[in-house]
Amino acid sequence: MIDSMKKFEENKFNIPELKGISKKTIEEHLKLYSGYVNNLNLTLEGKQDIRRLGFEYNGMRNHEVYFAGFEGGSKNLNESSSLKKKIAEDFGSFENWLTEFKTIGLTRGIGWAMLYYDRSADRLLNAWVEEQHLGQLQNCTLILGLDMWEHSFVADYAPSGKKNYIEDFFANINWQVIESNFLVSK
């Protein structure tokens, strides 16, 4: 047991009122994020099975990207932005990328739709990550994460409302934050 080990701390997010995603859902979702941080620290202290490390750690980091994307309110991606240009270069157009990403989000079951940047190949990649401790792309930076676990949308949209949740997710995104994730990753 290592009690003097530096602990991971919860990020605090300034999330405004969102279209379609209730304050109650965000509050409950933030409690889940808090649990990832707490359980990660317990795992590192030797108080939980070390095999949980990847699940707790990735759960924490995925949620940090997810929640940060809502901070500051909805803001569009500028036509001249580096990210928009890179998306068009790698997917043919922003619209092609968005269609593919939304389709990934509709994957049957639970998981995450992810946009990664691969520094080694200098390219963006979309991926579906079913279990957060399995399937993350090695050496890639998470740029945008769409949580498709039921806790993120069922209370507001019912199980059949995935498509509406995805539309509202994009209506609420602050693309300046997502652009920053991309620029930092380069």
Instruction: Give tens-digit pLDDT for 133-174.
Output: 988 999 999 999 999 999 999 999 999 999 999 999 999 999
Average pLDDT over residues 108-132: 96
> Residue ranges per domain, the chain?
21-186
Average pLDDT over residues 118-144: 95
End-to-end CA distance of the chain: 37
pLDDT tops 70 at residue 89? yes
Give the pLDDT score at 3.
52
Instruction: Give tens-digit pLDDT for 29-65.
Output: 999 999 999 999 999 999 999 999 999 999 999 999 9
Q: Higher pLDDT residue, 4 or 93?
A: 93
Three-class DSSP category at 160: helix
186 pLDDT band, cuts 50/70/90, is: confident
What sign has the CA pseudo-torsion 99, 101, 106, 108?
positive
> Token pair for residue 21?
């995603």
Distances (CA, A) of 5 to 17, 43, 44, 49, 186: 37, 12, 8, 17, 30
Is pTM beyond 0.75? Reply is: yes
Give the pLDDT score at 5.
76
- State the fold for domain 21-186: minor pseudopilin epsh fold (3.55.40)
